[in-house]
C-alpha cells in the first residue's frame, strides 16, 4: 500500500480540521479527502466519520472500507467488524489518530500478505510448468530426433526434391534444431539447480554438525 488516503466526513466543519490539523503535525501523515470529492471504489483506505446522519453512515459502509465513527451517543450503531466507534470526549482526535494508525498498519500488512500470496501462487504455477517440461523432455527429444533425422534424409535427395519443398524442409530442420537447443538448455538448468540444491543441503548439514 502506498501513502494511505483517509476520508474525513462530518456535518460539522470543525470536525475535519480537528482531525487533519492534528494528524499533519506528525510524520508520514496520510492524504486526506473530504465528502465534497467524488468517490468511487478504491477512493480511500479509511473513513473517519463525524456525521449524525444515518443515511450518510450507511452510504459509507457501502464502500466496504474500515470506518472510525466519532459520536456523542450510541445511535446508528453498526454490527460490522469494520466499524470502530469512538466517543466524542476530551482528546478524541488523539484517540482517533491512534486507532486510525493501527487500522492502516493492519490494512498494509493484509495488502502485503495478499501480494506475497499472489506472487507465491504465480511461482508455484511456473514451477509446475517447469517440472512438467523437464518430465516431458525425453519424449520431446525423441520426437525432435525423428523430425531432424527424416528432414535431413529428405534434404539429401537433390534430384527429385522441388526447390519450394526443399525450402520448407530446411525451415522444419532449422526450427527443430532451435527447439533442440532450448531443450538442451533445460537440461543444463536442471543440472545447475540440482547442484545448487546439493550445495545448500551440504551447507545446512555442516551447520547442524557444527552445532552438535
Rounded Cα gap, residues 20 and 93, in angstroms: 9
**Which CATH code, of 3.40.30.120, 3.40.50.2300, 1.10.10.60, 1.10.1660.10, is assigned to 5-114?**
3.40.50.2300
CA distance 21 to 196: 56
pLDDT of 98: 93
% of the chain surpassing 90 pLDDT? 17
DSSP sequence for 24-71: TTSTT--EEEETTS---TTS-SEEEE----HHHHHHHHTT---EEEEE
The per-residue pLDDT for 36 is 59
d(CA 184, CA 190): 10
Low-confidence ranges of the chain (pLDDT < 50): 75-76
Domain boundaries in the chain? 5-114, 122-198
Quote the pLDDT of residue 1. 52
Whole-angstrom CA distances from 195 to 127, 138, 185, 198, 202 are 17, 21, 15, 5, 10
The predicted structure's pLDDT at residue 12: 82
3-state secondary structure of 190: helix
- Three-state SS for 136? helix
Amino acid at each position: 500500500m502506498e501513502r494511505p488516503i483517509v476520508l474525513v466526513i462530518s456535518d460539522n466543519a470543525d470536525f475535519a480540521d480537528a482531525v487533519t490539523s492534528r494528524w499533519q503535525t506528525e510524520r508520514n501523515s496520510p492524504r486526506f479527502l473530504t465528502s465534497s470529492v467524488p468517490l468511487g471504489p478504491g477512493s480511500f483506505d479509511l473513513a473517519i466519520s463525524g456525521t449524525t446522519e444515518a443515511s450518510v453512515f450507511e452510504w459509507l459502509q457501502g464502500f466496504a472500507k474500515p470506518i472510525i465513527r466519532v459520536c456523542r451517543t450510541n445511535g446508528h450503531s453498526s454490527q460490522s467488524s469494520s466499524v470502530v466507534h469512538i466517543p466524542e470526549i476530551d482528546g478524541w482526535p488523539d484517540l482517533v489518530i491512534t486507532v486510525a494508525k493501527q487500522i492502516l498498519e493492519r490494512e498494509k500488512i493484509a495488502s502485503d500478505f495478499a501480494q506475497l500470496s499472489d506472487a507465491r501462487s504465480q511461482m508455484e504455477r511456473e514451477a509446475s510448468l517447469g517440472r512438467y517440461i523437464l518430465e516431458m523432455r525425453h519424449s520431446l527429444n525423441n520426437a525432435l530426433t525423428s523430425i531432424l533425422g527424416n528432414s535431413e534424409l529428405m534434404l539429401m535427395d537433390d534430384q527429385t526434391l522441388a526447390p519450394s519443398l526443399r525450402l520448407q524442409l530446411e525451415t522444419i530442420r532449422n526450427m527443430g534444431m532451435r527447439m533442440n537447443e532450448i531443450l538442451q538448455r533445460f537440461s543444463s538448468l536442471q543440472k545447475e539447480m540440482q547442484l545448487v540444491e546439493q550445495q545448500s543441503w551440504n551447507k545446512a548439514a555442516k551447520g547442524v554438525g557444527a552445532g552438535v
